[in-house]
Amino acid sequence: MDLAYLRAHPHLLPTFLHHQRIRETPVDGGSICHTSRLTFDDGESIFTKSWPETGGRAPDGFFAAEAHGLRWLAETGTVAVPEVLVDTPDLLGMAWIEHGQPSARAAEEFGRALAGLHRAGAPAFGADWAGFHGSAQMDNTPGPGPWHEWYAERRLTAYLRLSMDRGALERDDVARVERVIAGLDRVGGDEGPARIHGDLWTGNLLWGADGRCWLVDPAAHGGHRETDLAYLRLWGGAPHLERILSAYAEAWPPADGWHNRVPLHQLSMYLLHTALFGAAFAPGVRDTTSACLPLTA
């Protein structure tokens, strides 16, 4: 078993894991999946994700969504994404990327590449495959737009309902989010569908030893490019963020006023977190809606 054989026979990886000498080393890959580095006798490695044994079976389409997203981003020839080698209902295997350190040069190259990815566009808002954002299902039902209508229904309203079902938001919080949704048509900045990563916070940037910034764990779909740019600012922000954004703007300047709309795009992420994890993230929803309401009034 080596990479060449695996590319030709990807469905055999689970069998070879049990019957061949493949060294498996657990690695950090997030909190949802069991993640490992598999090393073959010739020294080549791959990165695998599987559903934890204690969690039963993976949700239908969970690994397929990530595989679709990685391939869809890769076909543009712009950003660096790991090659998908194995795609089964229970396992995802990708080319191993050796980790390095963030650098200003890599950040600038990434900014230009991200602009190229977004320019590649998408047939519609949404995608032709069922989506996941972390472990939460993401409604990718395609729609022609305008963007603010699609975003209101498929992201903000959907995650708000899940958050309400969980009891994660107080009544005043819900009312404020609903006011934001009702005023989205007054915000401006609508554009046609861009090809976006969809979960582009700093934890999904892998700075490689080859000097490139690789994108991992996408929630890829046709969306608004400002969503990717806004997510880069979350949770402390990406390394060399201003270099990334400056290089992006040189390649394809965002529409006027995009900085003011950052909270509007980030609101979907905070609502996702209240839906998944509960009231601990309610202050983020509260602060973000406060920043959004002047835009939608």
Residues of the chain with pLDDT under 70: 1, 15-21, 30-31, 53-56
Q: Which positions ≥6 away from 158 have C-beta within 8 Å?
A: 139
Task: Quote the CA–CA distance of 38 and 35 in Å, as a whole number.
Answer: 10
Class of domain 3-95: alpha beta
In this predicted model, what pLDDT tens digit does every residue of 20-38 receive, in sequence order?
A: 667 778 888 766 888 999 8
Q: Do domains 3-95 and 104-296 have the same CATH topology?
A: no
Task: Tell me, yes or no, if 190 is annotated catalytic.
Answer: no
Question: What pLDDT, on the 0 to 100 scale, is given for residue 7?
Answer: 78
In this predicted model, what pLDDT tens digit does every residue of 212-265 receive, in sequence order?
A: 999 999 999 999 999 999 999 999 999 999 999 999 999 999 999 999 999 999
Q: Where are the domains of the chain?
A: 3-95, 104-296
* Third-level CATH fold of 104-296: Aminoglycoside 3'-phosphotransferase; Chain: A, domain 2 (3.90.1200)
Q: What's the token pair of residue 2?
A: 């080596």
pTM for the full model? Answer: 0.93
Which of 60, 139, 172, 199 is labelled catalytic? 199
Q: What's the token pair of residue 73?
A: 């981003």
Identity of the residue numbered 198: G
Task: Quote the CA–CA distance of 32 and 135 in Å, as a whole number.
Answer: 7
Question: What pLDDT, on the 0 to 100 scale, is given for residue 14?
Answer: 73
